[in-house]
Amino acid sequence: MPGQLHLQFPSPDNLCIVLAGSWLLADSRPAPDDIALQLQSRSDLHRICFDGSAVTQWDSGLLTFLARVYQLADEHKIDIDPGGLPDGARRMMKLATAVPPKEDTGKHSEHPPLLERIGLRSLSMWRAAPEMLHFLGEVTLSFGRLFRGTAQFRRSDLMLVIEDVGPHALPIVSLISFLVGLIVAYMGAVQLAQFGAQIYIANLVSLGMTREMGALMTGIIMAGRTGAAYAAQLGTMQVNEEIDAFRTMGFNPIDFLVLPRMLALVLMMPLLVLYAGIVGITAGMFVAVTVFDISTFEYYQQTVRSMEWAHIWVGVIKGTVYGVLIAFAGCLRGMQCGRSAQAVGEATTSAVVTGILFIVIAASLLTILFEELGI
């Protein structure tokens, strides 16, 4: 039998709710609308009692119903006598009402208006700037300690990070550089072939890969690969209170965690950029030789003739700067991470976005700078 509900009035100021049948969450149960009506219309009611002797089975279905009745009674300042309820239900309701609802929790679920949101967002971005500067300062101090030889970190940690950042990144850097070299060669060749100057593919590719694309593509790969990994590692350590543990035991977490990571990327980026350039030039040669009938030797000669040490230096310097920025963004977001899985995800996303943003800004500035300097 599904749940049933009758209202009785043993005396004018007394409402007795008679419950019967099965009050399971899965079944259909009567709603307390009738009771609400009665409470509204009869102002002389002072007490609600129950008769639950005919209830056959119950679970949270009955309890949610009772919670509503309790709430109604509270609104109308009417006493509740739970004596007639099934034993367990009576005790569960006592438990449920033991701690009054926490009000004034400072939680507002409604959305603030648009302008307010824009203002709040701007303020929080404004406040983030000093935090970033503070971190920059700490990292600078840490590098100072490194050069004086007083920075505390484990050399084996540095080696592990270097291995992960350098050799382990080779496959993906090879693939992307090769494809980028291929694209540059093809795009240039189609234009150059119009006036029979295919041989200048070599100039285009070698210049493009060493000066610009090698560093840029490696930077973007490393932002996605290593910057994200740094943020996730440090963020998870933040969640597990590992970073607090370092602090309390007198280790500087910047020295111990951030320094080796920055150092590894700064050391490995130039090498990766050089490697990316070589792979890109090889890809260009592959296109020139197989599609545009240039001999390997001609291509090699042309490449050597077009290359200058300055191009290589420009690429390596750019790559190193990108490395610093990627490591900085990754470590910054990791150290700023909140204390939940959600926060680790946000830190990782933010590390990659910040890293790529830094790279693109730096790329523009450096290109203009080198142009002005005439290098």
Partner 1 sequence: MEATTVLHKTDPDAHITVEDLTMAYGDFVIQRDLNFTIPRGNIFIIMGGSGCGKSTLLRHMIGLKAPASGKVLFDGISYWESAPAEQQRIKRGFGISFQSGAMWSSLTLAENVALPLGEYTDLAAADIAEVVALKLSLVGLSGFEEFYPSEISGGMQKRAALARAIALDPEILFFDEPSAGLDPISSRRLDDLILELRDSLGTTIVVVTHELASIFAIGDNAVFLDAETRTMIATGNPKTLRDESPDPGVRRFLNRGEI
Residues within the interface to partner 1 (CB under 8 A): 25-26, 59-60, 63-64, 67-68, 87-89, 91-92, 95-103, 105, 107, 109, 338-343
Closest distance to partner 1 from the beta carbon of 55 (Å) = 13
Residues in CB range of 216: below 8 A, 6 or more apart: 318, 322, 359, 363
Nearer to partner 1, 260 or 334 (CB): 334
Nearer to partner 1, 59 or 138 (CB): 59
Closest distance to partner 1 from the beta carbon of 160 (Å) = 26
Nearer to partner 1, 44 or 87 (CB): 87
Closest distance to partner 1 from the beta carbon of 7 (Å) = 21
**Bridge partners, residue 81, by sequence:** 49
Residue 37: CB atoms within 10 A of its CB come to 11
Please provide the DSSP assignment of 225-268 as one string. Answer: IIIHHHHHHHHHHHHTTHHHHHHHTT--HIIIIIHHHHHHHHHH
Nearer to partner 1, 87 or 371 (CB): 87
Q: How far apart are CA 174 and CA 206, in angstroms?
A: 16
Closest distance to partner 1 from the beta carbon of 250 (Å) = 26
Closest distance to partner 1 from the beta carbon of 50 (Å) = 16
CA–CA distances in Å: residue 74 to residues 57, 68, 105, 276: 27, 10, 21, 73
Nearer to partner 1, 142 or 238 (CB): 238
Closest distance to partner 1 from the beta carbon of 58 (Å) = 9
Closest distance to partner 1 from the beta carbon of 268 (Å) = 34
Nearer to partner 1, 14 or 97 (CB): 97
Report yes or no: 326 and 222 within 8 Å, Cβ to Cβ. yes
Residue type, 204: L
Backbone φ and ψ of 21, nearest 5°: 80, -160
Burial class (CB in 10 A: 0-12, 13-18, 19+), 14: middle
Nearer to partner 1, 95 or 373 (CB): 95
Q: How far apart are CA 273 and CA 315, in angstroms?
A: 7
